[in-house]
Amino acid sequence: MEIYYEINGKKYLDNYLLRQKLDLNKSEMQVVLKTYDFPENEVIRLQNRKLYSMSILNELVEKLLENER
C-alpha cells in the first residue's frame, strides 16, 4: 500500500513519508533537505508540515544516484 497526499491531481510526501520511502533517519533526511534546493512551486506548506511533490523527489533521487557514479 502506498500512502501519499494528493492535491490537484499531484502526489506529495511529507518528511515522515519521505524518510520511510528512502529509508533514512531524521538526521540523514535533514542533510538531504538542506543540501538540495527545492523549487518553491514543488513544495506546499500544509498546517505545520511541508509537502514535497513526487516529481521533484524523483529528480532528487536521480541526482543523488548520478553523484554516486
pLDDT of residue 33: 84
Which whole-number Å values give the CA distances from 18 to 32, 41, 53, 61, in the listed order?
11, 18, 10, 11
Residues 6+ apart with CB under 8 A from 28: none
Summarize pLDDT for 29-51 with one digit per residue, the tens: 899 888 888 888 889 998 999 99
Q: How far apart are the first and last CA of the chain?
A: 31
Residue 48 burial (CB count, 10 A): 5
Number of domains, the chain: 1
Q: Give the global pTM.
A: 0.78
pLDDT of residue 7: 92
Find the domain containing 22 and state its range. Answer: 5-68
